[in-house]
Structure 1
Amino acid sequence: MPEPAAAEIRLECVLHALADPVRLLIVSELAAPGAELNCLAFDLPVTKSTSTHHFRVLREAGVLRQWRRGTSKMNALRRTDLARRYPGLLESVLAALGDRPAGAGQE
């Protein structure tokens, strides 16, 4: 599945990907160290086709990596790549998510 090389991750693409509440929900669920989750493990408030779009935006921005494991599509944050390219960005976003009231930003 196409994704940018670490050196090609662009800040404006990452920020765009992180600007959506559903995509932030995906990122927050993948935030546990070493987390690898199947696309079906997420309880997203959108249709399957829309969730596929959100995963694609995150992957193409370089925020997450996707790969096949059997018939499952697995997901993991590209923590190391993002930390090298934009130190502290992902941690700041995750910390800000922890400060939000439950359900904030979801409509």
Structure 2
Amino acid sequence: MTSLMKPSAEAHPPDRAGAVGIQQSKRAGRHLPGALKQCVDDGRIHLPGASLSLTVKGDFAELSDALNLILYRLVQEALTNVSTFAREARVEIFLIRTPADGARMRLS
């Protein structure tokens, strides 16, 4: 998440940064929910004026690596936008997984 606070020219390429976060979480046994929690926790450190909340419901263990990466990058990009444009914003992230619907994410 250190790339969150750097200008985009210095940041890791998006696929690499997200892939690293997911890989580290998988090694730690956390998978997507753990990676998102770490991303948001890091955001709280770098954005002390922002109110960040994360709600994850459901089982994400069976999602493909590609979908895990996409969901992770959406959250990471949202936090980057907050860092750039609205450092004191309130951010709510909801991620819900149901067998019938797949995965749903709402960022507000």
Which structure is richer in relative contact order (CA contacts within 8 A, separation 6 or more)?
1
